[in-house]
Amino acid sequence: MPKLSPLQWLIVVLFQVFYGFTVFAVTRDHYQRQPMSSAAPAPAVGHPGAVERVLGGAIPDQIAAGDPALLADLGDEHFVAKRYEEAIDLYRRALALDPTDVDTHNDLGLALHYTDQTGEALRVLKKGVERDPRFQRIWLTLGFVQMNSPERAEAKFALREAIALGADSEVGQEARRMLERLER
């Protein structure tokens, strides 16, 4: 093996450092431009899209059976994809496990309405309002569903309740817009 002077050693070390950083930069750039879908880290459950991405769209019954939050999250995935019948089934299963979840009452009511089951949607939404009359979004949803049913007078009341719970919030502002349309 040849003997190297201190200057030659310094050049070799600097070259190795430069080479290492270059390989790192090129590799990093490649994976940022073309991410690997199968090796992507699993997002936390509860994040939109998390359930289907983590488990490829299928949740074994034994995993979801006892977790109402997981069922509701999967229901949300189906709802966003406009697979309302599947969402309804999952929301009902979640409510069977946790009947106090007003957010799931809200989501189930909306999914029922979108499948032309407005009577059942109103029943579910009213039950949710009874459980927590301080949950602003369910008042908005109730008003929206009632606007599209014979219960138009009750829709005004529900929208006013949503506004009273927070006129400056996004939900309150949407309730105000809906109420203005209804009163025209």
Is residue 108 within 8 A of residue 95, CB to CB? The reply is yes
3-class secondary-structure state, position 61: helix
pTM of the model: 0.67
Higher-confidence position of 37 and 60: 60
Amino acid letter, residue 178: M
Interval 42-95: pLDDT, tens: 333 344 444 444 445 555 555 556 789 999 999 999 999 999 999 999 999 999
Dihedral over alpha carbons 72, 74, 75, 76 (to 10 degrees): 90
pLDDT digits (tens, 9 = 90+) for 85-129: 999 999 999 999 999 999 999 999 999 999 999 999 999 999 999
